[in-house]
C-alpha cells in the first residue's frame, strides 16, 4: 500500500548525520537532542493543556533506544519505546523493535502496538470491557521502516541535511498491523501557525490509497507536524490522532529552561 504525503516526512541520508541527530544527555553536542524535547499536549481547539510528553534517548556504540512518556491530566498515559541499530558510520539506522502502550485513567491497559523488525512479527492489542483482542501479522519489514518517534527524528535529520524527495516505510496499527510505503516532497513556501510564531513548514499527512481512498482514507491516522526552518528545523508541535480512531490532540514545544 502506497501513501503519498504532501510534505517531507523523511529518513536521514547517512548514519553520520543520524549519530549527531539523536545524541542525548547534558554533554551532548548532537544536532537534534531529542532527549531535551518536552511537549505540551493540548485539546483539539488548542485552548487547554491536557498533558505533557517527554522523551529520553539512551545511546551506546551500536544502538539508540528512544523512550517516550505522555501523561494526561485525567490520569491516562502512554509509554513508547523503540530500539534502533546504528551500525557502522556508513550505514543507515535500522529499526529493531517498537512498542507503544496506552493506559486508561485507572492504570488498566487500553492498547498495545508492537513490531519486531527482525522477525517481522507485529501485533495490535486492544482491551474492551476487560476483554483482550489481539491482531497479529507476519510482515515483510523493509530496511527503511520506522515507527513512532523515530519517524519524527528522521524528519528533522533529513530536513537539516537538505533532503527534499525521499521514500521510506512506516508501521501503524490501522487497526491491524500494517507497513506503508511513503513518498514525500517539500513545499516551496512556509506557513503561519497560530500557536507558534514565525514562518514554519507544515507536514500535512494525507494518505493517497488509490481506489481505496473513499473507503479507507477517512479512517487512517493523520498528523500535521510543524518545523521552524529558521531554528535549524526544530520541531515545534503538531496535531494527530493518538491512535486509530482515537481522540485528536495537539502538541506544542515547551521552550527549554534558561
Does position 226 have pLDDT exceeding 80, yes or no?
yes
More confident residue, 88 or 197: 197
Confidence bin at 141 (pLDDT 50/70/90): very high
- Most confident by average pLDDT, 9-18, 60-69, 108-117, 230-239: 108-117
Confidence bin at 27 (pLDDT 50/70/90): very low
Can the peptide bond before residue 124 be classed as cis, meaning omega within 30 degrees of 0?
A: no
Confidence bin at 187 (pLDDT 50/70/90): confident
End-to-end CA distance of the chain: 46
**Residue-level pLDDT at 34:** 58
Give this prediction's pTM: 0.79
What percent of the chain lies above the pLDDT cut of 90? 40
**Residue-level pLDDT at 118:** 94
**Residue-level pLDDT at 10:** 28
Amino acid at each position: 500500500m502506497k501513501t503519498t504525503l504532501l510534505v517531507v516526512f523523511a529518513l536521514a541520508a547517512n548514519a553520520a548525520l543520524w549519530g549527531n541527530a539523536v545524541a542525548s544527555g547534558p554533554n551532548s553536542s548532537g544536532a537534534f537532542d531529542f532527549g531535551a524535547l518536552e511537549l505540551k499536549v493540548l485539546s483539539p481547539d488548542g485552548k487547554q493543556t491536557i498533558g505533557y510528553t517527554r522523551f529520553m534517548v539512551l545511546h551506546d556504540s551500536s544502538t539508540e533506544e528512544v523512550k517516550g512518556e505522555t501523561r494526561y491530566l485525567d490520569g491516562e498515559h502512554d509509554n513508547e519505546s523503540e530500539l534502533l541499530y546504528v551500525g557502522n558510520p556508513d550505514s543507515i539506522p535500522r529499526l529493531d523493535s517498537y512498542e507503544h502502550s496506552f493506559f486508561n485513567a485507572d492504570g488498566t491497559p487500553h492498547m498495545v502496538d508492537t513490531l519486531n523488525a527482525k522477525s517481522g512479527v507485529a501485533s495490535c492489542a486492544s482491551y474492551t470491557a476487560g476483554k483482550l483482542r489481539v491482531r497479529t501479522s507476519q510482515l515483510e519489514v523493509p530496511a527503511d521502516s520506522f515507527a513512532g518517534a523515530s519517524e519524527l527524528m528522521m524528519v528533522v535529520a533529513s530536513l537539516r541535511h537538505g533532503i527534499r524527495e525521499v521514500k521510506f516505510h512506516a508501521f501503524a496499527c490501522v487497526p491491524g498491523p500494517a507497513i506503508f510505503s511513503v513518498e514525500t516532497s517539500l513545499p516551496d513556501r512556509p506557513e503561519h501557525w497560530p500557536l507558534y510564531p514565525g514562518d514554519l513548514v507544515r507536514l500535512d499527512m494525507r494518505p493517497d490509497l488509490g481506489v481505496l481512498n473513499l473507503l479507507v482514507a477517512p479512517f487512517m491516522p493523520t498528523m500535521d507536524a510543524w518545523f521552524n526552518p529558521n531554528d535549524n528545523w526544530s520541531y515545534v508541535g503538531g496535531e494527530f490522532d493518538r491512535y486509530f480512531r482515537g481522540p485528536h490532540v495537539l502538541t506544542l514545544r515547551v521552550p527549554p529552561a534558561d
